[in-house]
A and B are shown apart, each in its own frame.
Chain A
């Protein structure tokens, strides 16, 4: 199984940059694509797709969100952070079956 590891929490100030990491125990690249995706979940809501295939912004998502990485190391960046961004962020791989990271809770300082 592919295991995804995220730090449990991150605190940043309004207007600053937040960088959330996701590391996998196996390569999730295949034929030029990185099968890594990012979701935002607020309390009581369903997850929402932010970034797909490592670096592509989903429809309707502000350009403050960006993703990068390949192989086994991926990051989601929010710059600048706004108050509405407080949420839990999950990475998810679709290279082999499906797994989610444990989630990173983003809080404001």
Chain B
């Protein structure tokens, strides 16, 4: 069955970096785009951007340009999100979601919690 399994919770200090992974199984990794979505505590879903799993080209939403990097380990069917120079407002759960060619996010990871606190 289709699964997206994300890495575990992280506790970081301001200024540090974090890398979140999203391992896909049950389908051909390069047939679907991978999107990233942020959910701050008690808030709604915010689209961060996506990565073309065939070419590796990332696209970032305006609010996520600069400190955020999407990458792939295609041989391991894994997408990664790295956040550098962490700030308190990066405290959130981050979801990966695969998207088909109709623009439909039909499978989601379980979410990875990042807490930034001094």
B32 to chain A minimum Cβ distance, whole angstroms, is 13
Interface footprint category on B? 20 to 34
Contact of A49 with B95 in the complex, beta carbons under 8 Å:
no
Interface residues in B76-118 by Cβ distance below 8 A to A read: 95, 97, 99, 102-106, 108-111
For residue B11, CB closer than 8 A to chain A, the reply is no
Whether A52 contacts B102 in the complex (CB less than 8 A), given A46-B111, A97-B61, comes out as yes
Instruction: Report how far A102 CA is from B39 CA in the complex, Å.
Output: 11
The answer to whether A92 touches B44 (Cβ under 8 A) is no
Residue A23 interfacial (CB < 8 Å): no
How distant is A71 from chain B, measured CB to nearest CB, in Å?
17
Residue pairs across A and B with CB atoms within 8 Å: the count is 61
Q: Chain B contact residues: over half helix, strand or loop, or mixed?
A: strand
If the complex has contacts A46-B95, A97-B61, A98-B35, are A52 and B106 also in contact, measured as CB distance less than 8 A?
A: yes
Report the minimum CB–CB distance from B72 to chain A (whole Å). 19
B61:A100 contact, CB within 8 angstroms: no
Contact at A97–B102, with CB atoms within 8 Å? no
B44 touches A100 (CB 8 A): yes
B46 within 8 A of A: yes
A interface with B by C-beta (< 8 Å):
1, 33, 35, 37, 39, 41, 45-49, 52-53, 58, 88, 90, 92, 94-95, 97-103
Beyond A46-B108, A47-B45, A47-B108, 7 additional contacts (C-beta under 8 Å) are: A45-B110, A46-B111, A88-B44, A98-B103, A100-B37, A100-B47, A103-B45
